[in-house]
Amino acid sequence: MTSSPVAAVILAAGEGQRLRPLTYLVPKALCPVGNVALLDRALARVAGLGLTGPSTVAVNAAYLADQVVSHVGVRARLSVEPDGPVGTSGGVGRLRGWIDGRDALVGNADAYLADPLREPGKDIAALLEGWSGDTVRMLTKPVPPGDTGGFSGRRFAGFSLLPWRYVRDLGPEFSDLVRTVWRPAEAAGELELIPYEGVYIDTGTPATYLAANLHAAGDGLIDPTATVTGHADGSVIGAGAVVEGRVSRCVVWPGARVAAGEELTGVIRAEDDMTVAGT
């Protein structure tokens, strides 16, 4: 691990349009995966590297920002974008004064990562191991067959590591890190693609969000405060949820209800009657 100081930035400002109508209720960063908010998973991940508290961890917010602010509390520095999301680059740029000469470990709150080969919370440690401090590093997985995007046959897997000399030039205006950091670093021969050996899922669609939950659940995950008088097979049942019917490979959000006589398969249930197909 580099001896240079590192600040963590968790990007949680996105609207999550592809996850609607779920994200009409909560911002994407607070959607639960395995009964843990995605944002909390990201905060635990950087905490596993020793980065905790508002002096070393920042979270940005824009869409339904009040929910993010309330959820984070004093656990991190909060950067609210009052006029709407300013993109991944703008989000980091708005925190440039707080980062203040440090290198930045930047992660997307909606990235689901699970690496059984490492200790819990340390599944992004490879980004820092043996780093010279001079290059931009990106956690990556192989590009799926037939996909022509990515970087030298690999795709971004949720986290990147930026030297201060790249961060110091970022502005607060709308832009993304692809344009302002990753492609310029690639052109300069300063982009390192770090393989990620665990599972990575971008939870941006109902299908991938459901897949992340089912991976986290294993054979099934039921919160102790949930009430299941029906049948739940391979599903995630949230806190205070009530399942009187039958669910298979589903996600039932905290406080949601599946009534007697209902049979749900491969869906997300929120509140009493919001049902989103995981396809």
Give the model's pLDDT for residue 3.
54
Pairwise CA distance, residues 237 & 185, whole Å: 43
Given a cut of 90, whether residue 138 has pLDDT beyond it is yes
* Backbone conformation region of residue 137, classed left if phi is above 0, alpha if psi is from -120 to 50, else beta: beta
- Residues 181 and 187: beta-carbon distance below 8 Å: no
- Residue 219's pLDDT band, with cuts at 50, 70 and 90, is confident
What would the mean pLDDT of 51-72 be, rounded to a whole number?
97
Q: What is the CATH code of the structural domain delimited by 6-202?
A: 3.90.550.10
Give the model's pLDDT for residue 150.
87
pTM: 0.93
Given a cut of 90, whether residue 122 has pLDDT beyond it is no
Given a cut of 80, whether residue 4 has pLDDT beyond it is no
**Mean confidence (pLDDT) of the chain:** 93
Two tokens, residue 39: 């944002």
Pairwise CA distance, residues 177 & 92, whole Å: 9
Type and span of the H or E element at 43: helix 38-47
Could you check whether the bond before residue 21 is cis, i.e. omega within 30 degrees of 0? yes
Given a cut of 70, whether residue 214 has pLDDT beyond it is yes
Two tokens, residue 229: 């008088």
pLDDT digits (tens, 9 = 90+) for 225-273: 999 999 999 999 999 999 999 999 999 999 999 999 999 999 999 998 8
Given a cut of 80, whether residue 81 has pLDDT beyond it is yes
pLDDT higher for 3 or 133?
A: 133
Give the model's pLDDT for residue 119.
73
Find the range with the poorest average confidence among 44-53, 116-125, 212-221. 116-125
Given a cut of 60, whether residue 65 has pLDDT beyond it is yes
DSSP category for residue 209: H
Given a cut of 60, whether residue 1 has pLDDT beyond it is no
